[in-house]
């Protein structure tokens, strides 16, 4: 399934990462998955949250630059070769992965992979013909929600 | 010397009466200029010791200046002279005749005190009435005046002229962007007067607040007090759905109202019957012909309390003669692209912020908020251009941002001829000024 992902521009300096995190915490927004990409001078904090509209509003109201991108979330078996099984149909379809990150869920022996493709719909089509299992919205947020 | 008073003050002259001066045949204008100049030169010589000393040192008397053609015989007066004369040294009128004191904004150092007699205020109001009329402002307008009120001339200069025109003035002054947006919407402002950099802040803030500026009644913006570019005009016009006019002035001469754009937008008409412009070579001081770029030098033709004879403004521009499609006979000055004192030097290379601006614009088509920070490490000078990330710059992909940063670095280096580091920074992280934008932050350890 496709999910909206928020990306936040942050300068690569002490004390900068915590600011958007504090804002989300104060707004009662739980971060389901995240990845932080960094360069020497700045970084991009990528977030998946349930109420992304609210998160975006909160961050932008506090001066953060936020963009929304569609990413794909798929299940992967938490064992050797699990990632290869997911990547194979992607390679077969000639698709390039812009970036990806993984996170573990609290249930079962599965992890979730988040993929960023240039064209998420084309990737969705390519993967639909494979055995790769998508994670749907309810699934993603229930797996990660606190007990 | 007598000068007719402006509407709203002692003598009721209508705006349509006042703007006739914009359309005087050149020969007639010339007669007015010559007569007024003779008075001005005599006033300066008789009342201001500095002028008398300078004249005598140059071996000239007031009789040597019969027309504007003789102006080049007079010595220049500079900002340094005004600072040295601080506070009262150039006053030509006793304090009993002075009714208002303003000060220059001090962008480049110590402020300069500027006195006005009642007649001076009338001249200023006349100048601003004519300038606002150039921008199409009239009695039906609601003018949101976001220039700072106070010692800075912008606020009161716009205020009295807009009232004299019969417009409704909202004296909101500068600052508090969120409130400006709410007032603009709720009061139905049709005209905004502010610095262009402050209006860019308002555009950002309106966007954050979810207010569609294009949907408001606002139709005209009168922007001045700092250099800005054609690209900034395009951005402002597009984002706010208004027509943006450039206005020019400086406290030392009168305040805003020295020159303004008409709707043809091919330069700013200089109110030549009140302020006589010359363009000079900044290095040699030699007068340059119309069309050539140099430093604008102004002579007041109708000011009593502090006449300025050949004041070097530091603003780099050119004058264009020839008829304007609007019918005005007043010469036009090109938009001021930079000031001679904006200049900063990095590793021996002269750089103007305007060059960096054009490079930034070339990459993304819009001008982000930026600042140039000069530092020194182990005796090596570093210049860093800090740029606030705009929505159209930002991407979730590092590769895209890195490419943008490289591209900006290359374009800046091409424009200025020396490598400057480029750093993308978070929105709102650079200091904002309510008045003039401060582009260069020099943190180098310098003797003196």
* pLDDT score recorded for residue B10: 43
Distance separating alpha carbons of residues A33 and A141, to the nearest angstrom = 10
B296, B311, B340: which is the final residue of a domain?
B340
Average pLDDT over residues B88-114: 85
Nearest to A69 among B208, B396, B428 (CB): B396
pLDDT cut 90: percent of chain B above it = 66
| Of A127, A87, A42, nearest in space to B386 by CA | A42
| Secondary-structure class of domain A71-144 per CATH | alpha beta
Per DSSP bridges, beta strands B370-377 and B440-442 are parallel
Contact A42 B401 (CB under 8 A): yes
Largest CA-CA distance found in chain A, in angstroms, rounded: 45
Distance separating alpha carbons of residues B63 and B53, to the nearest angstrom = 16
Residues in chain A: 147
Residues B360 and B325 reside in one and the same domain: no
Distance separating alpha carbons of residues B87 and B91, to the nearest angstrom = 9
Distance separating alpha carbons of residues B226 and B148, to the nearest angstrom = 14
Residues B417 and B437 reside in one and the same domain: yes
Cis peptide before B87 (omega within 30 of 0): yes
Contact B423 A69 (CB under 8 A): no
Residues B323 and B360 reside in one and the same domain: no
Nearest to B424 among A7, A42, A69 (CB): A42
Beta strand ranges found along B4-154 (DSSP E): 98-103, 113-117, 142-145
For residue B434, name the pLDDT band (cuts at 50, 70, 90): low
More confident residue, A105 or B249: B249
Cβ atoms within 10 Å, residue A128: 10
Lowest mean pLDDT among A113-127, B32-46, B319-333: A113-127
pLDDT at B1 over 80: no
Average pLDDT over residues B323-341: 88
DSSP per-residue letters across B309-345? SSEEEEEEE-EE-S--TT---S-EEPP--EETTT-EE
Residues B239 and B333 reside in one and the same domain: yes
Nearest CA in chain A to B427: A63
B391–chain A nearest CA distance, Å: 7
Q: Token digits for B12?
A: 């009721």
Complex confidence, ipTM: 0.83
CB neighbour list of residue B283: distance below 8 Å, 6 or more residues apart: none
Distance separating alpha carbons of residues B403 and B395, to the nearest angstrom = 11
Is B93 contained in some domain? yes
A16–chain B nearest CA distance, Å: 10
B310, B340, B370: which is the final residue of a domain?
B340
User: For chain A, how many helices (H) and strands (E)?
Assistant: 5, 6
**A39 Cβ under 8 Å from any chain B Cβ:** yes
CATH number of domain containing B262: 3.40.50.12780
Average pLDDT over residues B92-116: 84
CB neighbour list of residue B317: distance below 8 Å, 6 or more residues apart: B279, B293, B294, B296, B333, B334, B335, B336, B337
In chain A, positions 75-134, which contact chain B (CB-CB < 8 Å)? 98-99, 116
Is B146 contained in some domain? yes
**A65 Cβ under 8 Å from any chain B Cβ:** yes
What backbone phi and psi angles, to 5 degrees, belong to B81?
-60, -40
**Token pair 């928020």 is at which residue?**
A6
**B406 Cβ under 8 Å from any chain A Cβ:** no
Residues B177 and B281 reside in one and the same domain: yes
Residues B206 and B219 reside in one and the same domain: yes
Distance separating alpha carbons of residues B10 and B100, to the nearest angstrom = 16
Starting at the earlier edge strand, list the strands of the sheet with B294-300.
B287-288, B275-280, B294-300, B311-317, B338-339
**Mean of per-residue pLDDT scores for chain B:** 89
For residue A106, name the pLDDT band (cuts at 50, 70, 90): low
Q: Domain residues of chain A, as ranges?
A: 2-69, 71-144
Is B448 contained in some domain? no
* pLDDT score recorded for residue B365: 67
Residues B13 and B50 reside in one and the same domain: yes
How many domains, chain B?
A: 2
Average pLDDT over residues B393-402: 92
Is B40 contained in some domain? yes
Residues B183 and B314 reside in one and the same domain: yes
Nearest to B389 among A9, A16, A39 (CB): A9
Is B447 contained in some domain? no
Q: Where are the alpha helices (DSSP H) in B287-340?
A: none
Q: Please count the residue pairs, one from chain A and one from chain B, whose beta carbons lie less than 8 angstroms apart.
A: 53
Nearest to B426 among A5, A63, A116 (CB): A63
Burial of B69 (0-12, 13-18, 19+ CB in 10 A): exposed
Contact B394 A61 (CB under 8 A): no
B392–chain A nearest CA distance, Å: 10
For residue A139, name the pLDDT band (cuts at 50, 70, 90): confident
Residues B353 and B225 reside in one and the same domain: no
Contact B427 A65 (CB under 8 A): yes
Residues B43 and B99 reside in one and the same domain: yes
**A44 Cβ under 8 Å from any chain B Cβ:** yes
**B61 Cβ under 8 Å from any chain A Cβ:** no
Cβ atoms within 10 Å, residue A131: 9
Nearest to A63 among B391, B398, B428 (CB): B428
Residues B332 and B354 reside in one and the same domain: no
* pLDDT score recorded for residue B376: 84
Residues B241 and B360 reside in one and the same domain: no
Q: B21: helix, coil or strand?
A: helix
Distance separating alpha carbons of residues A59 and A2, to the nearest angstrom = 22
Distance separating alpha carbons of residues B303 and B124, to the nearest angstrom = 9
Name chain B contacts of A37, Cβ cutoff 8 Å.
Answer: 398
Nearest CA in chain A to B429: A63
CB neighbour list of residue B43: distance below 8 Å, 6 or more residues apart: B1, B92, B304, B307
Beta strand ranges found along B110-211 (DSSP E): 113-117, 142-145, 168-170, 191-194
Per DSSP bridges, beta strands B142-145 and B168-170 are parallel
B340, B366, B395: which is the final residue of a domain?
B340
End-to-end CA distance of chain A: 24
Its domain, for residue B393, covers 344-442
- Please answer whether residues B429 and A42 qualify as being in contact, where contact means their C-beta atoms are separated by less than 8 angstroms: no
Is B58 contained in some domain? yes
A2-69 belongs to CATH 3.40.50.300: no
* pLDDT score recorded for residue B8: 44
Between the CA atoms of B116, B119, B122 and B128, what dihedral angle is there, to the nearest 10 degrees? -50
Distance separating alpha carbons of residues B192 and B162, to the nearest angstrom = 11
For residue A128, name the pLDDT band (cuts at 50, 70, 90): confident
């Amino acid at each position: 399934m496709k999910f909206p992902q928020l990306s936040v521009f942050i300068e690569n300096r002490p004390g900068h990462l915590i600011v958007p995190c504090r804002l989300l915490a104060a707004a009662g927004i739980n971060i389901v998955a995240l990845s932080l990409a960094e360069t020497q001078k700045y970084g991009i904090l990528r977030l998946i949250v349930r109420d992304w509209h609210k998160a975006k509003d909160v961050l932008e109201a506090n001066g953060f630059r936020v963009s929304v991108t569609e990413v794909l979330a798929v299940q992967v078996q938490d064992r050797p070769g699990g990632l290869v099984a997911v990547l194979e149909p992607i390679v077969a379809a000639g698709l390039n992965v812009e970036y990806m990150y993984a996170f573990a869920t609290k249930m079962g022996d599965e992890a979730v992979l988040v993929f960023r493709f240039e064209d998420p719909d084309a990737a969705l089509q390519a993967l639909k013909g494979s055995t790769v299992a998508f994670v749907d919205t309810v699934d993603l947020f229930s797996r990660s929600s606190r007990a | 010397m007598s000068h007719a008073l402006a509407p709203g003050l002692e003598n009721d002259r209508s705006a349509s009466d006042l703007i006739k001066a914009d359309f005087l045949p050149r020969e007639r204008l010339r007669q007015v200029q010559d007569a007024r100049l003779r008075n001005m030169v005599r006033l300066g010589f008789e009342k201001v010791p500095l002028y008398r000393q300078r004249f005598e040192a140059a071996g000239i008397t007031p009789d040597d200046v019969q027309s504007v053609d003789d102006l080049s015989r007079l010595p220049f007066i500079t900002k340094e002279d005004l600072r040295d004369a601080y506070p009262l040294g150039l006053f030509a009128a006793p304090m009993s005749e002075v009714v208002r004191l303003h000060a220059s904004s001090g962008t480049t150092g110590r402020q300069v005190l500027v006195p006005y007699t009642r007649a001076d205020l009338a001249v200023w109001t006349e100048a601003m009435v004519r300038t606002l009329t150039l921008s199409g402002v009239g009695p039906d307008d609601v003018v949101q005046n976001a220039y700072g009120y106070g010692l800075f001339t912008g606020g009161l200069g716009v205020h009295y002229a807009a009232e004299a025109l019969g417009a409704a003035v909202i004296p909101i002054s500068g600052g508090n962007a969120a409130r400006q947006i709410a007032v603009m919407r709720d009061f139905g402002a049709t005209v905004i007067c502010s610095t262009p950099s402050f209006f860019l802040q308002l555009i950002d803030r309106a966007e954050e607040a979810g207010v569609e500026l294009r949907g408001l009644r606002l139709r005209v913006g009168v922007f001045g007090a700092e250099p800005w570019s054609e690209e900034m005009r395009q951005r402002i016009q597009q984002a706010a759905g208004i027509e943006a006019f450039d206005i020019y002035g400086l406290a030392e001469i009168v305040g805003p109202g020295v020159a303004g754009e008409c709707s043809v937008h091919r330069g700013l008409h200089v109110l030549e019957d009140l302020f006589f412009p010359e363009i000079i070579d900044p290095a040699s001081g030699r007068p340059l012909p119309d069309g050539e770029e140099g430093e604008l030098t102004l002579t007041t033709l109708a000011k009593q309390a502090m006449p300025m004879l050949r004041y070097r403004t530091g603003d780099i521009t050119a004058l264009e003669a020839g008829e304007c499609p609007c019918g005005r006979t007043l010469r036009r000055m090109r938009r001021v692209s930079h000031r001679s004192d904006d200049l900063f030097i990095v590793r021996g290379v002269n750089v103007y912020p305007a060059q960096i601006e054009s490079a930034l614009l070339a990459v993304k088509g819009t001008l982000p908020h930026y600042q140039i920070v000069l530092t020194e490490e182990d005796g090596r000078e570093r210049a860093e251009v800090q740029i606030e990330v705009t929505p159209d710059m930002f991407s979730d992909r590092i590769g895209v941002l890195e490419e943008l940063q490289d591209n900006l670095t290359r374009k800046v280096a091409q424009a200025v001829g020396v490598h400057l580091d480029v750093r993308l920074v978070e929105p709102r992280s650079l200091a904002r000024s309510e008045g003039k934008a401060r582009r260069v932050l020099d943190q180098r350890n310098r003797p003196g």
